[in-house]
Structure 1
Amino acid sequence: MVPRNLLKTLVFEAHDDLPPFSLKLGNDTAAVCNSSTPGTAGFIHSDDGNDSEMFFWLFESNNDPATDPVILWMSGGPGASSTTYGGLVELGPCRIAPEGGYTTENPFGWNANASVLFVDQPVSVGFSRGRAIPKGLAEASGLMHQFLRQFFVAFPQLSTQDFYIVGESYGGSWVPALGAAIAKSQAEAEKPDYFVNKQSHLAHNQANGLARTSNINLKGVMIGNGLIRRSVQNSGGFETACSGPDSLFNSSTCLEWAPRAMRCEQHLNVCETEGWTSEMCRKTEKLCRPISSALGVDDDVPFRGVSYEVLNLWEQIGDLWKSSDNYVNYLLEANYRVLIYVGDKDWFCNAASMRRLVNEGLVWHGHPFFRFRELIPWYNGPKPAGRWKSYEPLTYAEVVDAGHLAPFDKPEETLILINSWIQGSLPAR
């Protein structure tokens, strides 16, 4: 039954190796997002055995939606709602007012020069739902790839645009894993037919979330304050707290902590290789502990800003500790553009650890050259906004005075950063 608050429902038959699906659109997102571009919200429901219903919110570019790129934003967690944190808190065209109850226009929304897509994923996050939560990052990435292919079938006018995947925090895993899945499908699509055993190829792709044909024009990925490799990044907390002009603790405290920091790094390596189920890591567990209607959501659909079901499942199977640098390396080797940016006041995914990651933790053909590039300043007008360096497809950038949610802390600077990088360079003075 189509809810009374939906404008329309469109049904799509099976397409290539996609299951049949339907598109249900909401009717009045302007009642939620007070901006010049309120956007299009709705659900894509897949007849895929899991009865998946994925909620999305699309904001077209304010510049030229017919030619401007499309950006997919993925919030972290795992299990955080992208439509809420990305769309209504950080980088959408409107933001929830500080006193709550209504939204105000965001003058630095990322849809200034790109169409921006927010999706609550995986199922059980935000308004998205299904019979079962995907079992880990690989399965979730395959289902998200399926959603994107369905989305571009439903919105064919956007399918030829350059496409970028962006995310923050656990987005350091979401983004490169999804990017690699799409990149592999694009490579498959470019193979001549005589290289493909059709029957075995189809079975392999269905098992791995790949597609023989791809309608996704992926150009690159951006990872902001991303969790990519815990064993490298968590150890950066000591450097952030105890070195440089902004150190947080005095020298005597830091001298006391130094040997503990080294032991911590050794333990983190064990957790990364053996997973959270190892005895050492388990011991630490106890220590670490009318809008819906406008968007086209049925009254009986609950909203989860953060799905602890997803977070707990990822923890149980060990995916919280799995590194995603292999996906980043794959994209770099395939010459997809990669931007890794970080707020220099972030404690969790801190700049010290991100510098260590890009200089030592990523292994790709340009690594020796990238490693020895010097960081140079980039600017917002005459004012220094951060530092950056680049070699071939990889760019690393820091944002001055931004924390873990850089687009929230420094909205103007992050918009300049993203627009400039897409166009090919960062602004000099």
Structure 2
Amino acid sequence: MLSFYLVLVSLLLLEPFSVARHSFSSNREQSDQSRASEDLVANLPGQPVVNFKHYAGYVTVNENNGRRLFYWLYESPSLPDEKPLVLWLNGGPGCSSIGYGATQEIGPFLVDSDESSLTVNPYSWNKEANLLFLESPIGVGFSYSNTSTDYANLGDDFAANDAYAFLHEWFLKYPSYRTRAFYIAGESYAGKYVPELAEIIVDRNKDPSLFIDLRGILLGNPETSDVQDWQGMVDYAWSHAVISDETHRTIIASCDFNSNDTWSNQDCSQAVNELLKQYKEIDIYSLYTSVCIDSLTGSDDNSTPVFKTTSKMMPRIMAGYDPCLDDYAKSYYNRLDVQKALHVSSGHHLRDWRICNMSVFNGWSDSKESVLPIYQKLIAAGIRIWVYSGDTDGRVPVLSTRYSISTLSLPITREWRPWYHQKQVGGWVQEYEGLTFATFRGAGHAVPTFKPSESLAFFSSFLSGASLPFKR
């Protein structure tokens, strides 16, 4: 079966994974609290005054190889000791959760267009939960390894295992969160990261010493199942007048997305090339907003993905009402004073930060064709699954998600209907046994960037397990 992202040249052996069974003694917890205080962020350049604490720094997930993952924790401004912990992951693979999720979508600080100051996000999700952003895997953002061979092993299993190791080490650093209600959220290729990590947690929770109180997962415009993702992408491009009737008919007639040899069919390859060519003219992640002209004409940023006809697709480039948000983030996080405040750099060494690392993307060695079997496993384990889709995204369009969910044949518990926010239709929603699917009307790939108020209300409903409002 075709991989949506990867042509595997060879299978790489991932290193064995284990988590030490830590004894959470009071002495250990006291010393770990002091470790956490060292990561307190103070004097972040351009930061407005806020009434919550935030922490940033590194957690070592492999001592021998020097593998370290960068995190940023924002406490909730109200009742942080009582609210749940939510881990947010962005995808790519190779794109930064700091640059996207924290800076452009759901975090409390948004980088201004002057690239030097921060604005408070009035719709930050830390109003409802403590937010933990992780740059994963190594090679993404500020995360790294001192062992070069680690980068040759990057793939889904590698990322999930390192993220799991990160959590247990992070809980040692922040022991007050160890028994907190825990959720995992993410978008795009994190549609694979999130359920894969959740599966490891469910499996290893059988050992009480490793227990993590995972309650649910939240997935936005998620990569889910390669076959359905491709089919949805093609049908969406045609139904939204991006490609011609002729191109659509050629793809339908010649492309077998269930095949391991899809691209050997020349008619299929040429037709998909035509689809990608048309999407190069606009923002595939947001059909109806402008592109960043400065980036198109003057940037030599080698992290900018390039379209090509293989089974690979590119990570998100730009989205949002301001299409140059990525540029602002890149400039801000490559400042030495910012990196010092985030405990990334000391002295005069500047670490190169990219919003997407194409070396990670191009070297990805392992991608599951479908995470739908994991959905079934998590539902059986009682894990809440909510999936949402901005309906103006062409990259992982709403059709792809609907096609994927339909293959599960889950019993419907509440029929398709509009949901409302501030007396307006926010989108449409359908509830199944164990899964809720909702659309966001007029939102692109990074839904909270387009619909911040609606997204915060949606997030609140997810945490409470309550149905979305169905009356004005």
TM-score range, shorter chain: 0.7 to 0.9
Whether the 8 Å contact between 2:191 and 2:220 is mirrored in structure 1 is yes
1:70-128 CA-to-partner distances (Å, cap 9, x unmatched) read 11010110011111211111110011113422110000000001000001111111111
Q: Equivalent of 2:110, from 80, 95, 119?
A: 95
Mean Cα deviation higher: 228-237 or 26-35: 26-35
The two structures have a TM-score, normalised by structure 2, of 0.73
Q: Quick one: distance in 1 between partners of 2:45 and 2:116?
A: 12
Stretch moving more, 344-353 or 71-80: 344-353
Which whole-Å deviations, capped at 9, do the CAs of 1:342-401 have from their partners, x for residues lacking one?
0011111111221111112x3xxxx3413x852111111211101111123211010110
> How far apart are residue 165 of structure 1 and its match?
0.5
Return the offset for 1:46: 4.1
TM-score, normalised via structure 1 length: 0.79
Partner of 1:260: 250
Say whether the 8 Å CA contact 1:29–1:41 is kept in structure 2.
Answer: no
Residue of structure 1 equivalent to 2:90: 75
Matching residue's letter, 2:356: V
What CA distance in whole angstroms lies between the structure 2 residues aligned with 1:392 and 1:62? 34
Q: In 2, distance between residues paired with 1:411 and 1:53?
A: 32
Could you tell me which residue of structure 2 aligns to residue 189 of structure 1? Answer: 207
Indicate if the aligned counterparts of 1:38 and 1:59 stay in contact, CA closer than 8 A.
yes
Question: 1:164-221: CA deviations, max 9, x gaps?
Answer: 11010001111110011111111x225xxxxxxxxxxxxxxxxxxxxxx224211111
| TM-align CA RMSD | 2.8
Match of 2:76 in 1: 61
Rounded to whole Å, the distance in 2 between the matches of 1:127 and 1:148 is 17
Partner of 1:269, secondary structure, is coil
SS in 1 for 2:259: helix
Q: CA separation in 1, counterparts of 2:46 and 2:71?
A: 14
Tell me what 1:198 maps to: none
Paired position in structure 1 for 2:411: 369
The alignment status of 1:287 with 2:309, answered yes or no, reads yes
Which position in structure 2 is the counterpart of 1:126? 141
How far apart are the structure 2 equivalents of 1:394 and 1:162? 19
1:108 partner SS = coil
Note if 1:117 corresponds to 2:132. yes
Alpha-carbon displacement from aligned partner over 1:200-251 (angstroms, at most 9, x marks no partner): xxxxxxxxxxxxx2242111111100011121022123432444xxx3369x
Q: Give yes or no for the alignment of 1:296 onto 2:318.
A: no
Identify the residue that residue 259 of structure 2 maps to in structure 1.
270
SS at match of 2:363: helix
Match of 2:388 among 335, 341, 345: 341
Matched, 1:420 2:413: no
Counterparts of 1:64 and 1:359 in 2: how far apart (Å)?
A: 39
Deviation at 1:279, TM superposition (A): 5.6
| Paired amino acid for 1:72 | L
CA contact (8 A) 2:87 2:131 kept: yes
Cα 1:90–1:349 shift into 2, 3 Å: same
Q: Could you list the per-position Cα deviations for residues 252-298 of structure 1 after superposition, in whole angstroms to 9, with x for gaps in the alignment? A: x32x23422314651x2224xx7x9x866997895368110111112
Contact preservation (8 Å) 1:62, 1:114: no
Q: Is the 8 A contact 2:238 2:248 kept in 1?
A: no
* Corresponding position of 2:42: 28
Separation (CA, whole Å) in 1 of partners of 2:254 and 2:232: 11
| Native 8 Å contact 1:234 1:348 kept in 2 | no
Equivalent residue for 2:422, pick from 381, 386, 389: 381
SS in 2 for 1:58: strand
The one-letter code sitting in structure 1 at the alignment partner of 2:353 is: F
* Structure 2 residue 150 is matched with structure 1 residue 139: no
Superposition deviation, residue 428 in structure 1: 2.6
Contact 2:154 2:366 in 1 (8 A): no
The 1:249/1:139 distance shift into structure 2, 3 A limit, reads: closer
Name the CA distance, whole Å, in 2 between partners of 1:93 and 1:280.
48
Tell me, yes or no, if structure 1 residue 405 matches structure 2 residue 446: yes
d(CA) in 1 for partners of 2:380, 2:69: 32
Residues 23-52 of structure 1 show CA distances to partners (whole Å, capped at 9, x for unaligned) of 662542543543523611111124532211
Which residue of the partner structure matches residue 224 of structure 1?
220
Does 2:402 align with 1:355? yes
Q: Which runs of 5+ in 1 are unaligned?
A: 1-13, 191-212
Q: Which amino acid aligns with 2:247?
A: W
In the aligned structure 2, how far is the partner of 1:126 from the partner of 1:353?
A: 28
d(CA) in 2 for partners of 1:238, 1:287? 14
Quick one: structure 1 residues 249 and 123, their matched pair in 2 at CA, closer, same or farther if it must change by over 3 Å? closer
CA distance in 2, matches of 1:142, 1:368: 29
* Count of residues in correspondence between the two structures: 372
Match of 2:190 in 1: 171
Give ranges in structure 2 of 5+ residues lacking alignment: 1-18, 274-306, 315-336
> Where does residue 305 of structure 1 map in the other structure?
355
- 2:170 counterpart of 1:151: yes
Give the match for residue 277 of structure 2. none
Closer, same or farther in 2 for the Cα pair 1:341/1:43, shift >3 Å? same
Counterpart AA for 2:258: N
- Gap change, CA 1:280 and 1:308, over 3 Å in 2: farther
Counterpart position of 2:434: 393
- 4+ runs of 1 displaced by more than 6 Å? 20-23, 280-285
Secondary structure (helix, strand or coil) at the match of 1:402 reads coil
1:16 aligns with 2:16: no
Cα 1:301–1:61 change in 2 (3 A) is same
For residues 264 and 162 of structure 1, what CA distance do their matches in structure 2 show?
A: 48
In structure 2, C-alpha distance between the alignment counterparts of 1:166 and 1:280, rounded to whole Å: 37
